[in-house]
A and B are shown apart, each in its own frame.
Chain A
Amino acid sequence: MEGSLRTQGFAIGRTTPRPRQRPRATQALVTAARRGGMALLVCVVLIGAAACSPQTPSGNSSSHPKSIVVSAAVSLENAFGEIAQLYTSRTGAKVDFSFGGSGELERQIEGGAPVDVFASAGAKEMDALQAQGLIVATSRADFAGNSLVLIVPADSKLRLGSFAELAEPKVKRIAIGNPKTVPAGLYAQQSLRNLHLWSRLQPRLIFAEDVRQVLDYAMRDEVDAGIVYSTDVPIAHGKVKIAAQAPAGSYGPVLYPIAIVKGCSHPEAARRFVSLVRSQEGASIIEKYGFRSVK
């Protein structure tokens, strides 16, 4: 009976709702994505395999390397950039930089990062590495000095003229580097302590990861004031202005040491970089960027 009913056109059993259709354009995209996705996956796997293959040792001999790795405090970024260009034109070797807070860089070297040269913004980090025998002690030398300044955003209405004025309630947020990990922060802390401002200002302090971040906060108007190196100010291109110099003797001295990392891959090329930094040419470049050169 059902059979005959079926041939007469009756639908036996339930009529199921039609499945939702994708609009045609989307469907085409999905199909293309599926096919393209397969091709992409293959490419990614091939590239990944190629990238993971070990470097042939012959390509990078220690006396004529293609590049060296230099970890340096972020305040040295611009000066070292120019020195590196000079270095490359002289030796043909490129310089790969790692700029950051000195504390962070120290930890990376302790962790075995393949760094050839280390330059920090303070002695603490270098002392720590030296104590662990991680640098070539004879290569260590101070090569630059710096000074601390108080900056405010360029359009600040606060009219700060001295560090002491930071105590005024109108200054709500002050940025400095993290004293534990950033030398500039440590110097700032020393200065504020010596000026008997530290405990009063503590609740208003914002710690940054490195001194350039302090600069960035001030440039973006996120803080009312910041303490950075005098060499950092030109980098802001006028977005900050100097309100005061930190009183001499209340901190530091700010001395930048440089050293070759022990056991690095290219000691000869590293030595050449260090001597360039300490040379007369290196000194004049450093002075150009506002640092004090040190003999």
Chain B
Amino acid sequence: MIWSAFKLSILVVSLATVIVGIAGTALGFLLARREFPGKELCDSLITLPMVLPPTVTGYYLILLLGRRGLVGRYIFDLTGWTVAFTWEAAMIAAGVMALPLMVKSARAALETIDPRYELVSFSLGKGELETFFRVTLPLASRGILAGVVLSFARALGEFGATLMLAGNIRGKTQTMPLAIYEAFISGEDHKAQLLAIILTLASVAVIYLTNVLTRPQKAQ
């Protein structure tokens, strides 16, 4: 039980973090550098999962992706596949809860970079994409990396929305937080303790990394 929960957590959380890292950075860039109608509304919507109780977010995810959901029903009709009780659901739940953290970190990191560096790059003949990867991203890398680490931690600890969307299926969707819950209510205290220790160590590592990455640099 512990091993399968551990493997599943690593798989689900790693994938979720990669997707959230890319999407979050892109969204953070849009919010930091571009003006468009409804921009702050967009920011509020993205931040919502961070503020709503996880079960409410889980509820909305079910409304959206369940077999009878707004989007889920079309997916089911087209492919016969539904998201509930799959590891993809656990990944989606973890990703949705971690995304606001990533977007906020990325936006903050990008906003501290002088936008004129991008103008310099343009004046030297580079396009927007090349400028983003060769100038903006490297300069914002520390803050963005801190965001990735925070997202990883949030995804690792995700429980409420995962339970609602993905269920607590051992080997398929039972991530470590869910495994602790089951171990506890079925009286398997030793398993609960072991899982708790693993998660605590992971969280401590995250805090340490985040501090190192966001420490102000000396020569700037």
Identify the A interface with B (CB < 8 A): 26, 101, 103-104, 107, 110, 128, 173, 178, 180-181, 206-209, 217, 220-222
Contact = CB atoms under 8 A, between A and B. Distances in A.
A209 B68 contact: no
Contacts of A206: 85, 167, 169
A15 to B, nearest CB: 14
B68 A220 contact: yes
B67 interface: yes
A221 B85 CA distance: 13
A181 B185 contact: yes
Nearest to B185: A104
B168 A207 contact: yes
B66 interface: yes
B156 interface: no
Contact of A180 (B67, B84, B186): B186
B180 interface: no
A220 B62 contact: yes
B82 interface: yes
Across the A-B interface, the 6 shortest Cβ-Cβ residue pairs: A104-B185, A180-B186, A222-B84, A221-B67, A181-B186, A107-B185
Contacts of B167: 206-208, 217
Contacts of A128: 187
Contacts of B62: 220
Contact of B182 (A110, A178, A217, A222): A178
A62 to B, nearest CB: 30
B67 A222 contact: yes
Report whether over half of chain B's contact residues are helix, strand or loop; otherwise say mixed: loop
Contact of B168 (A107, A110, A209, A220): A209
Contacts of B170: 207
Contact of A220 (B40, B67, B182, B184): B67
Contacts of A110: 187
B185 A221 contact: no
A158 B50 CA distance: 41
Nearest to A180: B186
Interface string B142-177: 000000000000000000000100011110000000
Contact of A207 (B40, B169, B184): B169
A173 B83 CA distance: 13
20 contacts: A26-B40, A103-B187, A107-B184, A110-B187, A178-B168, A178-B186, A180-B182, A180-B186, A181-B186, A206-B85, A206-B169, A207-B167, A207-B169, A207-B170, A209-B163, A217-B167, A221-B67, A221-B68, A222-B82, A222-B84
A221 B184 CA distance: 29
Contacts of A217: 84, 167
B149 to A, nearest CB: 29
Contacts of A103: 185-187
B85 A220 contact: no
Interface in B81-102: 82, 84-85
